[in-house]
Each structure stands twice: as C-alpha cells, then as structure tokens.
Amino acid sequence: MHATDTAATPDHAEALASLRASLDALAQRRIATDAFCRIWRAQHALLACLPARYGLVMEDLLGRMESGSLFGEESCSFSQEELRASLATWLDKAAQSLGA
C-alpha cells in the first residue's frame, strides 16, 4: 500500500486499536513509557499509509514523552497528561485520514 492510498483496512483498524489500548495502559500505569514508545514506533505499515507529517508529529510527541518520563511531572515542562491527550488526538486524526 502506498502513502497516497488511504483506504482503511482491517489491519489499520487493528493497529489503531492496539495504539489506543497502549495509550490507555500508559494512562493507567500498566505499561512503562519506553515500552509504550516502542509499540508506537513499531507501527511501520500504519505510518506508511498516512501522510508523512503524521510520523513527524508522532515522533515529536513520543520524544517529549520519553524526556518527560525521566523527570517528575512537576519538574518537567512536558505534561504527561497533555502528551497523552495529544496522542489521543493524533489517533483520532489518523483514523479519520484512513477513513476508519
């Protein structure tokens, strides 16, 4: 599938559901930030079907999440809650872009 072909497939829906589940697990502290970021970065097929900006935005958010996880919530300029909200928005927009 090419980046210009944005028709949703069952694989896309499954990947999006997996990412949403990992986001929920992170919010509930059932998964560590590094494992969460590995899950998101492993979605090569999904990212290949989205416009390039999606990968750039995702990587920016994940990088800030990793940086923020090294410090306490109060000592870091990156709010983990706001980053999770931004990733949830990313998921919504990705699903919309794919027609899922």
Q: What does each of the 100 residues of the chain score in pLDDT, given as a tens digit?
A: 444 444 556 689 999 999 999 999 999 999 999 999 999 999 999 999 999 999 999 999 999 998 877 765 555 566 889 999 999 999 999 999 998 6
Query: Could you tell me if residue 91 is inside a domain?
Result: yes
Query: Could you tell me if residue 72 is inside a domain?
Result: yes
Task: Give the pLDDT of residue 67.
Answer: 85
In whole angstroms, what is the distance from residue 8 CA to residue 96 CA? 9
Q: Please give the single-letter amino acid code of residue 67.
A: S
Query: Could you tell me if residue 1 is inside a domain?
Result: no
Q: What is the DSSP letter of 68?
A: H
Q: What is the DSSP letter of 3?
A: T
Task: Give the pLDDT of residue 68.
Answer: 79
Query: Could you tell me if residue 2 is inside a domain?
Result: no
Q: Which domain holds residue 77?
A: 10-98
In whole angstroms, what is the distance from residue 5 CA to residue 50 CA? 8
Query: Could you tell me if residue 43 is inside a domain?
Result: yes
